[in-house]
Structure 1
Amino acid sequence: DLDAVLRLARSAPPLEDLPAPRAVSPSASARCRIGVARDAAFHFYYPENLEALQAAGADLVFFSPLETPSLPAVDGLYLGGGFPEVFMDALAANAGLRADLRAAIEAGMPVYAECGGLMYLARSLTWGTTTRPMVGALPCDVEMTPRPQGHGYVHLVTTGEHPWLPPEQGVRGHEFHHSRLRDLDHARFAYRVQRGHGINGEADGIRYRNVLAGYTHLHALATPTWAPGFVNAVAGLASLERA
């Protein structure tokens, strides 16, 4: 009933004027350096997420898993979403960076990875009859599927395994992935899934050393504690290493 909808719209009170978000510039007194994977294979980042990390005290250092030959001097890593399956040959060919990432993770570097970033950190990625090695930091393999394994909004609740958020905190996000994990060995999960699919329909967010890697894409405005918590974790460990 379009007429009824229009009547309701006309009767609604005026919307409150909200100030536009203030652009955030990198701080001259940044507390830590966070490497952000950004190229044709990894490019799904909400601008607000990057701004929130900067506002929390991070200096962002962009690098390309496709072309950067070695890991830059950073204290933590943010590996966002994208299409690693399309560029799996080039990602596999950059063996030097993959080895650097694996060594940094084993040494305890904090890493946050979403969807494509999760896939990149796995042992291998298979699409059809082609399999290529990935970073090999997570105890799982990734297989592409013809249909989405997860599609839509996600409601999560943190477990005691989350590296920087307290247990039983609600987290909202979204997922859209045509892949699933195989041969996942002895995983610890940072989230219980209340709505959505995540990794297996019940859990999301693999926790390995100081890595948190899941299929859910978070938004900094929906989870305001995400960016400060991650930066605090990165900066805290970096300060200990420099002491």
Structure 2
Amino acid sequence: MLKSYLISSSRKSSGKTVISMGLCSVIKSLDKSLSVFKKGPDYIDPLWLSKAAKTNCYNLDFYTMTHSEIRNLYKLVTQKSNITLIEGNKGLFDGISLDGSDSNAALAKLLKSEVILVIDCGGMTRGIAPLLAGYKSFDNKIKYKGVIMNNIAGDRHEGKIISAISEYTNLDVLGSVHKNAKLDIMEQHLGLEPIFLKTNANKIIKSISSVIKSSINVECLLNPRVKKRQTFKSVKMQIKNNSYNLKIGIAKDSAFGFYYADDIDKFKSYGVTIKYFNTLKDKSLPDVDGIFIGGGFPEIVADRLSKNISMKKSIKLFVESGKPLYAECGGLMYLSKAIKYKSKTYSMVGLINGEVNMLKKPVGRGYVDIMITKKHPWMKTDQLVKAHEFHYSKIKINEKYNYAYKVKRGYGINNKSDGIMYKNLLASYTHIRDTQKSRWIKNFLSFVEDSKIKE
């Protein structure tokens, strides 16, 4: 039987990510058939969840995916699982739409998942009762598994909270996590620093797991009183994947690591051979037909990137010879002439005639709508693509380029355009996901194949 839980909260920064990681780690150690998901377009949390669960974490996103796509991906990933954890984003009923159609609650209903509420109880006692009662009455179609109390000051505080919940609600208390300075620090940094920048990731996860194991009744999640496996209607999508005899190089190291798990699966489903390369350590590119450099934090390791001159030359020669390269956000930054970070300037690949400057506040943050221009080398013209961006940098362009996208919502490169093109290079701040409305991987592979034939 499949046990499906969506972990949410009353608001963001309630300790949900740390608790989700701890649960993933503990449950994985007890039950090998665990599936993990993250709501929204985020890259960082899924990487941590994936590490904790020792399995891929997949994104479920109402903005870029249809309901049928969400159900189908969920069904595909969970078909051999008997427990699923979905970490929500922000509060249970929060979202872009006023009607809540893109909220965590909507996702829980769509997938028939029980909700686990993580509540930050700092400075709260009896007041937790009306808060929970309000959540229960706001949407009676939500099924709650129970509550995890976070930021508990001590045993006396815990007793008052439990008494209030027991007296005024019918929700079960699944556990209580006491105030812990180390967990607070971890929570603050987890959402800001990807796992590929952490050399002590396993130690962090082990520490979190130890706290969660002693604080939460995990057994009640593994063995609930469920009579049958929940089912839901899914629309069977007939997608005939072409087979491409191609080798695609993907940058994967401490600078670049933002890739959707299902996008990587999609590359493999087309018969592509993926060759990962390290922009910091490898001297040159592997023998490949096309390159994909995703997002990351190149500014953090800019000094090391700058010093790997042979790799920079290898990438530049690859593009100058007419071979295809697609880059997103951090990849765009790496392909520029230089990155300015903390008053220092570091030379980069130099394919794009422009310098990147890191700022203290986000330049582009959130969902974007982009229109494909007729200049785009491998996507259908006038197609509207829903995607997202998250960057603290701006690039100052020193020459005129054609752009692949018109920005309808978001910022992109200059608040109106995104997707710099040079020869068979396309680099943008926008992160695009392969979905029903945007089959970018198939289009990119077809373009790589055509380019290979023309050589």
Alignment TM-score, normalising by the size of structure 2: 0.48
Q: Does 1:135 align with 2:349?
A: yes
1:73-152 superposed matches below 5 A: 73-152=287-366
Query: Is residue 164 from structure 1 mapped to residue 378 from structure 2 by the alignment?
Result: yes
> Unaligned stretches of 5+ in structure 1?
22-26
2:422 counterpart residue number:
208
Deviation at 1:133, TM superposition (A): 0.6
Would the aligned equivalents of 1:175 and 1:198 in 2 still touch at CA under 8 Å? yes
Separation of aligned partners in 2, 1:227 and 1:89: 32
SS in 2 for 1:239: helix
Match of 1:5 in 2: 138
For 2:250, the equivalent position in structure 1 comes to 36
Given that 1:156 and 1:194 are in contact with CA atoms closer than 8 Å, whether structure 2 keeps it comes out as: yes
Contact 2:385 2:438 in 1 (8 A): no
Q: 1:68: which partner in 2? A: 282
Three-state SS of the structure 2 residue aligned to 1:103 is: helix
Q: Deviations for 1:89-121, whole angstroms, at most 9, x for unmatched residues?
A: 110111001001111111111011000000000
Say whether the 8 Å CA contact 1:124–1:141 is kept in structure 2: yes
1:78: how far off?
0.1
TM-score relative to the length of structure 1:
0.89
Contact 1:187/1:207 (8 A) holds in 2? yes
Determine which structure has greater relative contact order: mean sequence separation of CA pairs < 8 Å that are 6+ residues apart, divided by chain length: 1
Correspondence 1:220 to 2:430: no
Shift of 1:62: 0.2
Pair 55,200 (structure 1): closer, same or farther in 2 beyond 3 Å? same
**Structure 2 counterpart SS, 1:123:** strand
Q: Structure 1 residues 19 and 240, CA, compared in 2 at 3 Å: closer, same or farther?
A: same
Query: Which digits, 9 at most, give the CA deviation of each residue in 1:3-48, with x for residues without a partner?
Result: 65323658xxx98344999xxxxx9x75111100000110111011
Please say if residues 244 and 449 of structure 2, whose CA atoms lie closer than 8 Å, have aligned partners that are also in contact.
no
Give the match for residue 16 of structure 1.
232
Structural RMSD (CA): 2.2
- SS of corresponding position for 2:435: coil
Amino acid in structure 2 at the alignment position of 1:118? L
> In structure 1, how many angstroms separate the alpha carbons of the residues matched to 2:433 and 2:381?
19
Task: Quote the offset at 1:158 in angstroms.
Answer: 0.2
Which secondary structure does the structure 2 equivalent of 1:139 belong to?
strand
Gaps of 5+ in 2: 1-133, 144-229
Distance 1:36 1:20 in 2: 30
Aligned residue type for 1:7: N
**Partner letter of residue 141 of structure 1?**
E
For residues 190-233 of structure 1, the C-alpha deviation after alignment (integer angstroms, 9 at most, x for no partner) is: 00011111111101111111111000111112544201000011
Is contact 1:149–1:178 with CA below 8 Å preserved after alignment? yes
- The separation in 2 between residues aligned to 1:235 and 1:142, in whole angstroms, is 32
Q: 1:123: Cα distance to partner?
A: 0.6
One-letter code aligned to 1:208: Y
What do the CA deviations read for 1:106-160 (whole angstroms, capped 9, x no partner)?
Answer: 1111011000000000011101210011000012111101100000001000001
Out of 136-145 and 218-227, give the one that drifted further: 218-227
Higher alpha-carbon deviation: 127-136 or 222-231: 222-231
Structure 1 stretch displaced more, 71-80 or 217-226: 217-226
- Over 3 Å counting, the alpha-carbon distance change for 1:160 and 1:30 in structure 2 is closer
Count of residue pairs brought into register by the alignment: 232
Query: Partners in 1 of 2:437 and 2:398 — Cα distance?
Result: 28
Secondary structure of 2:353's partner? coil
- What residue number does 1:24 align with? none
Q: Larger Cα Rg: Structure 1 or Structure 2?
A: 2
1:189 matches 2:322: no
User: Which amino acid is the alignment partner of residue 96 of structure 1?
Assistant: S
Q: How big is the shift at 1:57?
A: 3.5
Determine which structure has the larger helix proportion and give its number: 2
